[in-house]
Structure 1
Amino acid sequence: MNRKLIIEKTKEFVKMKLEGEGTGHDWWHIVRVFNNAMDITKKEKLIHEGNIDIFVVELGALLHDIADHKFGYTDEDRKNIITDFLLELGVQNEIIDHVVYIVNNISFKGGENKHKMETIEGEIVQDADRLDAIGAIGIGRTFAYGGYKKRVMYDPDCELDIKDKEDTISHFYEKLLLLKDKMNTKAGYEKAQNRHRVMEEFLENFHSEWKGEK
């Protein structure tokens, strides 16, 4: 099976698994991450003299939320599901291992994931995923996820440390505002700048409106 057909089959598989998912990790999230990854790859190829395996980037971007821990799966579950799927399509073991490495190490995991991606392909997919968590789309996804988890929008009276707060606005300070400086690639970092400013402006307006100042 040629690589183009494998990518099409993978898109069908992921769409079937994630279409209509309600936490903001749905099929359209995958499409945006895939598009981000392709754009970053195009720009990073100049820096890395073309030494990037685009096929690995494509598969990593498409499969990064399959059997994720947020859905109750373990890393071993995900490894087995992805390996079985790709083997059936005739993908080489070396490529499968690389894709599994990426998807099992991509997550922010509440800020506790200290692993540094060891391949440029992993760095690209991780940046692409992080980009979809910030900016205008990131704001929308954050409130969608907060609604799914039945979190209050904002609780200004909460005295707990930020990381223990359960309101949606606190998630910006716990995670989203930190992502700009966690980008791996030059292209990812540049793309994150505007998205970061969008969130800062949103939070400034949110707090002003909350206080009745605007």
Structure 2
Amino acid sequence: MNELQQKQLAAATTYMQQVLGQDHSGHSIDHIQRVVCLTKTLCQQEHVAAFVPLLAATLHDVIDDKVVADVAVARQQLRDFLAAEQVSDEQQTEIWLIIDRLSFSKNLVHKQALPLSGQIVQDADRLDAIGAIGIARTFYYGGHTGAPLYDPAIKPRTQMDKAAYRQQSPVINHFYEKLLLLQASMNTPSAKKIAAQRQQVMLAFLAEFKAEWNGEA
């Protein structure tokens, strides 16, 4: 990256920290830091120029309706920020394309097309939703929303749209409704390798959780 791009990325990091610094839903600064780190790794392994993916990874949650009170205001503030930092029109278009299409909920009904840069950010974001960190974030978010821990009588939902997906269900069901599905949705070979190992961590956890829930020694 050149000097201007480094400055823009530093400014984006500061902007993200200001928006997400008080988040308690699992979409806070530490989540972004991990997604940025994974994005950098995947860019290196897939031989993709890193600037736009890193900028999108840094900013992808600052307009998330789970995090901000007014999405329309948040979007305008992000547009103003990108313009003030002299991010090119072409780069802004690609960043918005990535941010607007990467989420799981946006792809429930139809898979959204993404350029390779966006596929990498999507992979990085989804990798942070699985494995040991994914387990921790799932229970953290469940506590944040007041979701019940587990009810064997409530079966995981299938074929949801975004509205149904956002309706509350037991925390354990979230593994079957989303997290265990993410391995198959990875785009890049590098992410698929990481996801395979993290999938096993979740499957082992769920087996142990259910055994303990049933009072097995």
Which structure 2 residue ranges, 5 or more long, are not aligned? 161-166
Q: 2:30 is matched with which residue?
A: 28
Q: 1:57 is matched with which residue?
A: 53
Q: Does 1:142 align with 2:132?
A: no
Indicate conservation of the 8 Å contact 2:124/2:191, yes or no: yes
Q: 1:130 is matched with which residue?
A: 126
SS of the counterpart of 1:29? helix
Q: 2:10 is matched with which residue?
A: 8
Q: Are the structure 2 counterparts of residues 110 and 102 from structure 1 closer, same or farther at C-alpha, using a change threshold of 3 Å?
A: closer
Shift of residue 183 of structure 1? 0.2
Residues 137-193 of structure 1 deviation map (CA, whole Å, 9 limit, x = unaligned): 000000000001101110112367466771100000000000000001111111101
Q: Does 1:96 align with 2:92?
A: yes
Indicate conservation of the 8 Å contact 2:149/2:170, yes or no: yes
Give the Cα–Cα distance (whole angstroms) in 2 for the partners of residues 78 and 121 of structure 1: 23
Q: Does 1:203 align with 2:201?
A: no
One-letter amino acid matched to 2:191: G
Q: Does 1:168 align with 2:164?
A: no
Residue from 102, 105, 115 that aligns with 2:111: 115
Indicate conservation of the 8 Å contact 2:36/2:54, yes or no: yes
Shift of residue 69 of structure 1? 2.5
State the Cα RMSD in Å. Answer: 1.9
Q: 2:164 is matched with which residue?
A: none
Residue from 18, 21, 46 that aligns with 1:19: 21
Residues 70-127 of structure 1 deviation map (CA, whole Å, 9 limit, x = unaligned): 23555x6554332211110111011011001100001101762523333110000000
- Comparing 133-142 with 1-10, greater Cα deviation is found at 1-10
Q: Are the structure 2 counterparts of residues 161 and 38 from structure 1 closer, same or farther at C-alpha, using a change threshold of 3 Å?
A: closer
The number of aligned residues is 207
Q: 1:49 is matched with which residue?
A: none
Q: Are the structure 2 counterparts of residues 77 and 185 from structure 1 closer, same or farther at C-alpha, using a change threshold of 3 Å?
A: farther
Give the Cα–Cα distance (whole angstroms) in 2 for the partners of residues 183 and 12 of structure 1: 29
Indicate conservation of the 8 Å contact 1:34/1:61, yes or no: yes
Q: Are the structure 2 counterparts of residues 95 and 198 from structure 1 closer, same or farther at C-alpha, using a change threshold of 3 Å?
A: same
TM-score (norm 2): 0.89
SS of the counterpart of 1:139? helix
SS of the counterpart of 2:101? coil
One-letter amino acid matched to 2:184: D
SS of the counterpart of 2:113? coil
Q: Are the structure 2 counterparts of residues 143 and 104 from structure 1 closer, same or farther at C-alpha, using a change threshold of 3 Å?
A: same
